[in-house]
A and B are shown apart, each in its own frame.
Chain A
C-alpha cells in the first residue's frame, strides 16, 4: 500500500519559470510533511516542511502548500534555477509514542533547462 504517491516521475521546466511538484497521501493520520532533494551519488537533503496545522510554508524560493481535505501537497520553486535539477521526494510523518518515521513517495526528477 503506497501511502505517499508522487504521480509524476519527471518534470522539465525552463530556467526562471515556476516548478510545481505534487504529492498525494492516503493516511489521514499523517501530521507532518517534508520535501527532500537528492542529487546523484548523494543522500537526500531536507528542503522544507509543513505541519498539518498550516496550509502554507515559505522559505526563499521554495513554498510548500498543504490541502488536507484533498490529502495533497505541492512544492513550488520560483524562479527555478538549473541547480535545482534533482530528484525531489515528498515524505509524510505520523508522530507516535515511539517517535516519528517518514514514509516517502517515489520521487520526481526535476530538470531545469537553461
Chain B
C-alpha cells in the first residue's frame, strides 16, 4: 500500500490567492482527518470525515477554510483567500473507525507571503 498521499508537498503563494491541498487516503479506510501543525498551536484537528461525510469541523479556523470529500479516495482542503498566518504544515490522515489509529501523509508545507 502506498500510504496516505498528499499533494503538493510544498506550496508557496501570495496573500489573497486560493490554495487547494489534496489527499488520497489509504484504501479501505473510512475516516479521513485534516490537521494543521504550527509552532504555536502544535498539531490541531481541523475537520474529519466518516464515510465521506463531515463529522466535526469545529477546528476549521474560519470561513476561509473549506474541505470536501467527494468520494472515498479523495479529499481537498481549500483556503480562500489565503493569509500569511495560514502558513503551516497541513497533514491528512486516514484510519478505520476502530480503534483509533490514524495513518498520516507526509504533509504539505504551505507558505503564504
Q: Give A residues with C-beta under 8 Å from B.
A: 32, 34, 36, 41-46, 49, 51, 89, 93, 95, 98-107
State the Cβ distance, B36 to closest chain A Cβ, in Å: 11
Residues of A within 8 A of B33 (CB): 101-102
Say whether B101 contacts A107, CB under 8 Å.
no
Residues 72-113 of B contacting A (Cβ, < 8 Å): 91, 93, 95, 97-107
Instruction: Pick from A32, A34, A95, A101 the residue with the most CB of B within 10 Å.
Output: A101
- What is the chain A residue whose CB lies nearest that of B92? A43
In the complex, identify which listed stretch (B13-21, B43-51, B60-68) lies at the interface while the others stay far away: B43-51
Quick one: CB contact mask for B26-64 with A, threshold 8 Å, 1 for yes?
Answer: 000001010000000011110010100001100000000
Pairwise interchain contact A89-B43, C-beta atoms closer than 8 A? yes
Q: Which of A41, A42, A100, A107 contacts B99 (CB 8 A)?
A: A100
Do the beta carbons of B4 and A43 come within 8 Å of each other? yes
The listed residue (A49, A89, A101) touching B101 by CB distance below 8 A is A49
Indicate whether A95 sits within 8 Å of B98 (C-beta atoms), given known contacts A43-B4, A107-B43: yes
Measured between beta carbons, the chain A residues less than 8 angstroms from B55 are: 98-99, 101
Q: In the complex, what residues of A have CB within 8 A of residue B48's CB?
A: 99, 101
Across-interface contacts of B106 in A (CB, < 8 A): 41-43
Residues of B within 8 A of A104 (CB): 42-45
